[in-house]
Amino acid sequence: MTWTVFLDRDGTLNEKAPEGDYVKDPSELRMLPGAGAAVAALNRAGLRTVLVTNQRGVARGLMSAADVDAVHAALTSELAEAGAHLDAIFVCPHEAGTCDCRKPGTGLFEQARSADPDIDLARSVMVGDAASDIAAGRAAGMLTVGIGPRAQGADQAAGDVAQAVEWILARVSLSR
């Protein structure tokens, strides 16, 4: 059974927009240093990589689903330049408290499992920079890696996604 690494987007793979704002356009996407190489390392190790991201700017009318798709196309392109890819992308476009897919809910993971029944959440890791990322991963029964000070309570702390991937690859190799 292949391990799955669920990755948050903003603050994990790319720079987060200022508080109250969103990455609404591909021109606003700024990849974090080493993010592409980190995802490529997961790919080379044969791990499934899935992006799970809250994008309530859609619900607030600040961007459209098409805008989110355009940002993801740019993200996919940036990753490809680093020899990396995502196996799937799942987005929660809803306002807080209106759905079960918004992290810290587990709906995005359930969507991923519906799309790929081979996903075993017990053999998965959630990587993110926010408490909601860590809470979602824990609620789904996954290992968690928190990036930075806002992601407290994770199984492992990391300074960036490259450190997170280093820990994941060591952990996965021990379990094979």
DSSP-based three-state secondary structure for 59: coil
Kindly provide the b/e burial profile for residues 141-176, where b requires at least 16 CB atoms within 10 angstroms of the residue's own CB: ebbbbbbbeebeebbbbbebbbbbbbbbbeebeeee
Catalytic: 67?
Answer: no
133 is catalytic: no
Q: Which of 8, 67, 87, 133 is catalytic?
A: 8
CA-CA distance, 117 to 129, in Å (whole number)? 27
CA distance 134 to 157: 11
Cβ atoms of 138 and 120 within 8 Å: the answer is no
Active site residues: 8, 10
